[in-house]
Amino acid sequence: MISTRAARHLPAVITILLALMLTLVPLPKALAPFRPDWVALILIYWAMTAPSSYNVGTAWLIGIFLDVAQGTLLGQHALALCVVVYITIKFHLLMRVFPLLQLTATVFALLALHQFLLFWINGVTAVTAPAISYWAPVIIGSIVWPFLSMFLTGVRFRAQTGN
């Protein structure tokens, strides 16, 4: 029983870890502002498909991890991810039946909200306001989303049929 349960969680755990790594991996200076928000994307996906297993608590924990790893204010990413995942779960039944284009637009809005929250917190704590390229991850993230969601659905399907 435990082993099947562990197997059920395996795809999510591995993809979340991968997302954390992709967020931390050093990129060349020119590319760094265009790094999509991997963690937010992955958490939106799992909150949409399995909200009972991965909800606000998961998002909050991962956010705290991210805050420590990036040296940002403790709780900043936690709050942003928490809010994004909460909204995703509120609308997850709707999002599941959205056509891909509409879903991508929704994800765009969620990513924008995520970036906005981080921006506001930065503003309140007087971390210097960044340039226009600060919003690039939102656009890149939305472009990445269709491929990511297709890939993750494939992974999930395979994991289910494997058992």
Shortest separation between residue 5's beta carbon and other proteins, angstroms: 13
Window contacting other proteins (CB under 8 A); options: 38-46, 53-61, 98-106, 141-149: 53-61
Give the nearest distance from C-beta 142 to other proteins in angstroms.
19
State the binding string over 17-46 for other proteins (x if CB under 8 A, else -).
Answer: x--xx--xxxx-x--xx-x-----------
- Site of tokens 């928490």: 82
In the complex, minimum distance from the CB of residue 54 to other proteins, in angstroms, rounded to a whole number? 11
Q: Of 87, 68, 88, 89, which Cα lies nearest the Cα of 78?
A: 68
In one-letter notation, the amino acid at residue 22 is L
> Is residue 111 a contact partner of residue 137, using CB atoms and an 8 Å limit?
yes
DSSP string, 40-98: HHHHHHHHHH-TTTSSHHHHHHHHHHHHHHHT--TTHHHHHHHHHHHHHHHTHHHHHHS
- List residues binding other proteins (CB under 8 A): 17, 20-21, 24-27, 29, 32-33, 35, 49-52, 55-57, 60, 63-65, 68-76, 78-79, 82-83, 86, 89-90, 93, 96, 121, 125, 127-128, 130, 134, 160
